[in-house]
């Protein structure tokens, strides 16, 4: 039986008859405690994981909305249609103007919810996604698997170009033994939640929801989350460039000046050409 006192930042799985068969598929090393559905209300300040509409979702404390990783989401679907896709700043920043004979090999060192990676994969890039939060990496893998089996050809093709790795991207980039990625993409958290208020960063509700989830998960392990040491490792590895997503007006990552930038209303993409062989 679970202790009745809640553990901060724990994500409980609600043990429900509805999805009992799914529980056995969850990797043991995620180490998520099980909570009987009868006891669920006793833990109002803990997040809870449930299986809904064919996927695992997380409900944050004091919130009714569910957070998940889902490439079939209507907003992503709309952004990944070819006309819209070519106008995406991230696609323009990563692909540049040159026509590529081979698909670009992109390393997304801060995969998060995989939305940026998905847009790049939909645009034809081969993308390796690295995420160090084990639960998020698991949800990403599940989302890639679901997309690979979807009716939409675009989703299937994009999913086939995505590979998820759970680990610390800084260490992985420093000890990379494979072929160099052509482009490394970084989107570390903009700012510490404490500093973010008052900066006027405008975010859509869906982005706020995802950020709340990340902040819930990372409250006790801030070190290294905000990109320290990341750009240096990326600049030493990328064959042709590093692209960094920042909030408009935010300082350059690692205080390193980019070669150029593409700016939109909600984000700026700093571009650092590299020439590593
Ligand atoms: C702002 S989110 C990225 C959002 C993502 N671009 C998207 O489209 O959903 C930053 C993510 O990077 C991850 N991250 C930060 N430092 C990392 C590291 N050293 N290695 C792997 N992942 C890291 C965080 O856990 C978080 O999920």
pLDDT digits (tens, 9 = 90+) for 145-164: 999 998 789 999 999 999 99
CA 76 – ligand 1 centroid, Å: 18
- Which of 131, 165, 266 to mutate to test ligand 1, by most ligand atoms within 8 A of the CB atom? 131
pLDDT per residue over 191-208, tens digit each?
554 444 444 445 667 777
Q: Whose CA is nearest to atom 5 of ligand 1?
A: 112
What is the pLDDT at residue 2? 42
Task: Give this prediction's pTM.
Answer: 0.90
Could you state, in chain order, the average pLDDT of each consecutive group of 10 residues for the chain (277 residues)? Answer: 47 88 88 86 87 92 88 89 89 92 95 96 97 93 94 92 96 96 90 47 70 75 63 98 94 96 94 95
Of ligand 1's atoms, which has the minimum distance to the CA of residue 188? 10
Contacts of residue 17, defined as CB under 8 A and 6 or more positions apart, other chains included, come to none
What is the pLDDT at residue 223? 45
CA 131 – ligand 1 centroid, Å: 6
Ligand 1 site residues (CB inside 6 A) read: 110, 112-116, 130-133, 136, 168-170, 187-189, 214, 224-225
Q: Whose CA is nearest to atom 23 of ligand 1?
A: 110
Q: Whose CA is nearest to atom 9 of ligand 1?
A: 113
User: Measured between alpha carbons, how far is 76 from 65 in angstroms, rounded to an integer?
Assistant: 18
CA 16 – ligand 1 centroid, Å: 31
User: Measured between alpha carbons, how far is 123 from 194 in angstroms, rounded to an integer?
Assistant: 35
What is the pLDDT at residue 131? 95
Of ligand 1's atoms, which has the minimum distance to the CA of residue 113? 9
What is the pLDDT at residue 145? 96
CA 129 – ligand 1 centroid, Å: 9
CA 73 – ligand 1 centroid, Å: 20
The candidate with the shortest Cα–Cα distance to 121, out of 161, 84, 155, 81, is: 161
What is the pLDDT at residue 64? 82
Contacts of residue 231, defined as CB under 8 A and 6 or more positions apart, other chains included, come to 186, 242, 244, 253, 254, 256, 272
What is the pLDDT at residue 226? 58
CATH level 3 topology of 74-273: Rossmann fold (3.40.50)
What is the pLDDT at residue 194? 47
CA 272 – ligand 1 centroid, Å: 19
Q: Whose CA is nearest to atom 4 of ligand 1?
A: 112
User: Measured between alpha carbons, how far is 57 from 113 in angstroms, rounded to an integer?
Assistant: 12
């Amino acid at each position: 039986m679970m202790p009745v006192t809640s553990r901060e930042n724990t994500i409980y799985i609600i043990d429900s008859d509805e999805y009992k068969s799914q529980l056995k598929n969850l990797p043991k090393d995620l180490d998520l405690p099980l909570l009987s559905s009868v006891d669920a209300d006793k833990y109002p300040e803990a997040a809870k994981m449930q299986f809904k509409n064919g996927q695992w979702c997380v409900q944050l404390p004091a919130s009714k909305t569910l957070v998940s990783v889902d490439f079939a989401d209507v907003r992503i679907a709309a952004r990944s249609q070819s006309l819209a896709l070519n106008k995406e700043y991230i696609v323009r920043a990563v692909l540049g103007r040159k026509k590529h004979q081979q698909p670009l090999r992109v390393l997304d060192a801060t995969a998060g919810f995989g939305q940026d990676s998905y847009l790049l994969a939909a645009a034809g890039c081969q993308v390796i996604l690295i995420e160090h939060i084990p639960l998020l990496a698991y949800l990403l893998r599940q989302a890639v698997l679901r997309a690979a089996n979807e009716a939409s050809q675009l989703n299937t093709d994009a999913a086939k170009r995505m590979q998820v790795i759970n680990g610390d991207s800084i260490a992985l980039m420093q000890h990379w033994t494979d072929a160099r990625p052509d482009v490394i993409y970084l989107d570390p958290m903009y700012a510490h939640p404490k500093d973010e208020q008052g900066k006027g960063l405008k975010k859509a509700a869906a982005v706020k929801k995802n950020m709340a989830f990340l902040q819930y998960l990372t409250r006790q392990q801030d070190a290294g989350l905000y990109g320290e040491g990341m750009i240096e490792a990326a600049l030493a590895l990328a064959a042709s460039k590093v692209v960094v997503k920042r909030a408009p007006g935010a300082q350059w990552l690692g205080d390193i000046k980019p070669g150029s930038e593409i700016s939109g209303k909600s984000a700026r993409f700093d571009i650092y050409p590299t020439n590593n062989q």
